[in-house]
Amino acid sequence: MSTTNAIRHAYQIIAATVAYQEASEHVCAAAFTVSADQVARARALVRDHLINHPAGDTAVLLVSELATNAVCHSRSSFFALTIARTTTDRVRITVIDEGRNGIPYLRNATADTEDGRGMAIVDLLATRWGITRLPAVGTAVWFECAGE
């Protein structure tokens, strides 16, 4: 699949995914090709759209973890994300990829391993999170977090 077609496909997935969100205000949706530099772009997008939001810093960290998982483990040609506000101080972000084999899960990382902590960080810092399988599309991992 060409990059242009992958991006177009990603936006179709985003539109379908937004219907799954329990959000009162859709803020932003974007798609990225799968590469490490695109994780930084995803973080920047979240930072820019939640610049004064009380949960902004937490959201940036958690997006970094989920986008990195999409790049490293999904075997996708793209990943996409949506940002939505569910209340004045709460935000819900979904990261979507084409991954259809396996799902993200909490691992028991040891002190001497350098990986395997992403979902544990999401579990620790998110108010709630979950995984939605999108038929014929892939996997959507979402989280909510609130400012303090």
With beta carbons less than 8 A apart as the criterion, state whether 90 and 127 touch. Answer: yes
* pLDDT over 70 at 10, yes or no: no
For residue 1, what pLDDT band results from cuts at 50, 70 and 90? low
Q: What is residue 21's predicted lDDT score, i.e. its pLDDT?
A: 54
With beta carbons less than 8 A apart as the criterion, state whether 119 and 111 touch. Answer: no
pTM above 0.85, yes or no: no
CB neighbour list of residue 52: distance below 8 Å, 6 or more residues apart: none
Query: Rg (Cα) of the chain, in Å, rounded?
Result: 14
pLDDT tens figures, 61-111: 999 999 998 888 777 788 889 898 876 678 999 998 887 676 665 566 655
Alpha helices by DSSP H, the chain: 3-18, 36-49, 56-73, 118-125
- Phi/psi of residue 112, nearest 5 degrees: -100, 5
Q: What is residue 147's predicted lDDT score, i.e. its pLDDT?
A: 75
**Which architecture does CATH list for 3-146?**
2-Layer Sandwich (3.30)
- Phi/psi of residue 35, nearest 5 degrees: -165, 155
pLDDT tens figures, 24-73: 676 788 888 888 899 999 999 999 999 988 999 999 999 999 999 888 87
13-19 long-range contacts (CB < 8 A, ≥24 apart) are 13/80, 13/96, 13/134, 13/137, 13/138, 14/80, 14/82, 14/96, 16/134, 16/137, 17/80, 17/82, 17/94, 17/96, 17/132, 17/134, 17/140, 18/82, 18/84
> Where do the domains of the chain lie?
3-146
